[in-house]
Chains A and B, each alone.
Chain A
Amino acid sequence: MVTKRQLGIIVVVLALLGVVGLIGVDLIGVGEWSGFGPLQQIGVGLGGMAIVVGVILILLGNRPA
């Protein structure tokens, strides 16, 4: 059985990976920076919300998810 804390950790990790990936897409192509596109902005925004959700879940402790 997965707890809310464990689910929260999973959510935070996945969200961080997603945000890093979205930012890293531009950083990998050094010298080709064309700005933060709208799709990336949406992705980072959703990732941020997911991190907030994940943190709340972590604080909810060992209750079953």
Chain B
Amino acid sequence: MSISRILKVLGVILSLLALLAYVGYLAVYIVYAVDLFHWPFDYDQGEGFELYDAILYARGEWPYKDNAVYPYYTSNYPPLFHLLIIPFLPIFGPRVVAGRVVSFVATLVTCGAVSAIVRRRAGGWFIPLVSGLAYLASPYVYQTGPLCRMHSMMVMFETLAVAFVAEFQHPRHGTRNLVLGLLMLLCAGYTKQMAVFTVAAALSYVSLRDVKKAVISGAALAAVAGVIFWLLNAATDGQWWVNTIQANANEFEYLQTLASARQWFELHTLFILLSFAYLIYELFLDRLSAYSLWFFFALGTGALSGKWGAGFNYFTTAIAAACVCSGLALGRLVSSRRLGIGDWRSLFTARGPRSAIRSLQSTIRNLKSAIRSLAIRRSVSVVRPILMVLVPLLYLWQAPRMLHLPTAGPVFGPVAEALGVGGAVTETDCMAYPYYDKMGYTQLGHLLTEDDYAAGEEILAYARTSDGPVFSEEAMFSLLIGEPVVTNPTQLRNLYLNGLLDTTDAVERVNRQEFGLIIFRARFYPDPVLQAVGQNYTTVERVCMNGFNYDILLPRRLLDGAQEQ
């Protein structure tokens, strides 16, 4: 058996193993998503607020309101994600599973789009398939994908936008692709504001190829987005501007950005290195594609992870871009038409940088034409099998760097043992969950337990028997008993820190002990409100649910009255 044949057989075996690893991640992701679909409470703080925005839209109400007025609730995000939840409300009811299903489907669409892009450009099936599955294998995507949060939907629109814009010079469908790409960018921006970086990437790409079209496209996009912006602001008496722009100007900690970037690199090393290599290759030796430009600009989204309230999911766009670029890079590597290795020796005999670069360009042209000759084809016949082994090996090397899975149960228990993480637990504030994540400490990703469900019902019992509105840091406790949501705490905090919130009315209501129940988790409220609560409410119980301590506070009038009796 020849070396070439041995390598090909080995390559097939390694490819199947790599595919098994990434399909395994898909299975873990689906199990986690289904587990979340059953959970009626907030799993991540903020989910209930996104659902409530959808409920308000379904009732014909704007969620952008004056936070100084009861119930002190407003949204700080654009509307598209919430509008897309509305069709699911009649199916699931006003339950957070509606938003989770929408977000989960968005991640699947993104996975499919990544695969389709790589397949279209690089051909084959293995690299496109793994590129798409790699997106879902990322711990960042895994943990946040099935949440009722808009970030995954934004990334979906961004991916589709770049896919369309990349083909804006198609001889038959160029104009259609450009229009669809701009539409996807508009959708991305009105899902979450951070999509601005992808807008910059897409318009930069068009500029490089056709400045006139870029100017027209940019102007058209700005005009449409601007009109929508103005209409929203006018319809909400200026609350749109205050709550979606001014309130989001939070304090920035660059060390948090650096720490997040380091973790992002450690978890996604292969994809990031290949993407940088692809970017550098296109920048100096070829033409910049929309995808490498997208990867570059997506780093800006990740840079914002140092903002208060931001998290690792700010790197999700960059992960999608890296999955595309790494797939394209490997696809180019294995394609025999593009083995432009180059003769670097001439760089050392050239006189000066201009001469060196001209030598390099000439060598590359000569090498490309030599590749077409029979002599080179013979070496390619060995190189290709080597690449067939190398590519799946690279994916297998990367796979454990993103390891995350439950570590208990009839299936995951033995699998975790086999992978060397059997019995591993994730410690939270008040509980340990049988879950392993390469990220280390995480608040997300673990499956829920019977104790969590019991704790949720215990807190809900307090809400049902409250003799006044429920002032809750998480919205689902109010929504599950059919009550309006009172406060969006992080939004109130952001507005207060930016000098944009009058807490007088809220403090007075707390002082009058109008709220029959207060539920705290992280106490992300303005200081005056917290002080008033401290003076008028007493913690009667602390309940551990989903790894967090929930403080149950009752008004002192109830407790004083009980003591008198």
* Residues in chain A within 8 A of chain B (CB atoms): 1-2, 7, 38-39, 42, 53, 56-57, 59-60, 64-65
Q: Interface residues of A: mostly helix, strand, loop or mixed?
A: helix
**CB-defined A-B contacts under 8 Å, sample of 14:** A1-B208, A1-B209, A1-B210, A1-B211, A2-B207, A2-B208, A38-B254, A56-B353, A57-B284, A59-B353, A59-B354, A59-B357, A64-B208, A64-B287
Q: Assess whether A65 is in contact with B287, with CB atoms less than 8 Å apart.
A: yes
A-B pairs with lowest CB-CB distance, top 3 = A2-B208, A65-B208, A39-B254
- Nearest CB in chain A to that of B210: its residue: A1
Q: Assess whether B208 is in contact with A42, with CB atoms less than 8 Å apart.
A: no
Q: How far is the CA of A60 from the CA of B287 in the complex (A)?
A: 12
Q: Tell me which residues across on chain B come within 8 A of A65, comparing CB atoms.
A: 208, 287-288
Q: How far is the CA of A3 from the CA of B207 in the complex (A)?
A: 11
Q: Tell me which residues across on chain B come within 8 A of A60, comparing CB atoms.
A: 284, 357
Q: Assess whether A7 is in contact with B354, with CB atoms less than 8 Å apart.
A: no
The residue from B209, B210, B283, B354 contacting A57, defined by CB atoms under 8 A apart? B283
Of the four ranges (under 10, 10 to 19, 20 to 34, 35 or more), the interface on chain B belongs to 10 to 19
* Residues in chain B within 8 A of chain A (CB atoms): 207-211, 254, 283-284, 287-288, 353-354, 357
Q: How far is the CA of A7 from the CA of B354 in the complex (A)?
A: 17
Q: Tell me which residues across on chain A come within 8 A of B211, comparing CB atoms.
A: 1-2
With A38-B254, A39-B254, A64-B287: A7-B208 Cβ-Cβ less than 8 Å: yes
Q: How far is the CA of A1 from the CA of B284 in the complex (A)?
A: 16
Q: Tell me which residues across on chain A come within 8 A of B210, comparing CB atoms.
A: 1
Q: Assess whether B283 is in contact with A53, with CB atoms less than 8 Å apart.
A: yes
Q: How far is the CA of A8 from the CA of B521 in the complex (A)?
A: 51
Taking the nearest CB of chain B, how far is it from the CB of A35, in angstroms?
A: 16
Q: How far is the CA of A27 from the CA of B288 in the complex (A)?
A: 37
Q: How far is the CA of A2 from the CA of B208 in the complex (A)?
A: 5
Q: How far is the CA of A2 from the CA of B288 in the complex (A)?
A: 11
Q: Tell me which residues across on chain A come within 8 A of B353, comparing CB atoms.
A: 56, 59
Q: Tell me which residues across on chain A come within 8 A of B287, comparing CB atoms.
A: 64-65
Taking the nearest CB of chain B, how far is it from the CB of A7, in angstroms?
A: 7
Q: Tell me which residues across on chain A come within 8 A of B208, comparing CB atoms.
A: 1-2, 7, 64-65
Taking the nearest CB of chain B, how far is it from the CB of A64, in angstroms?
A: 5
Q: Assess whether B254 is in contact with A42, with CB atoms less than 8 Å apart.
A: yes
- Nearest CB in chain A to that of B214: its residue: A2
Q: How far is the CA of A42 from the CA of B357 in the complex (A)?
A: 29
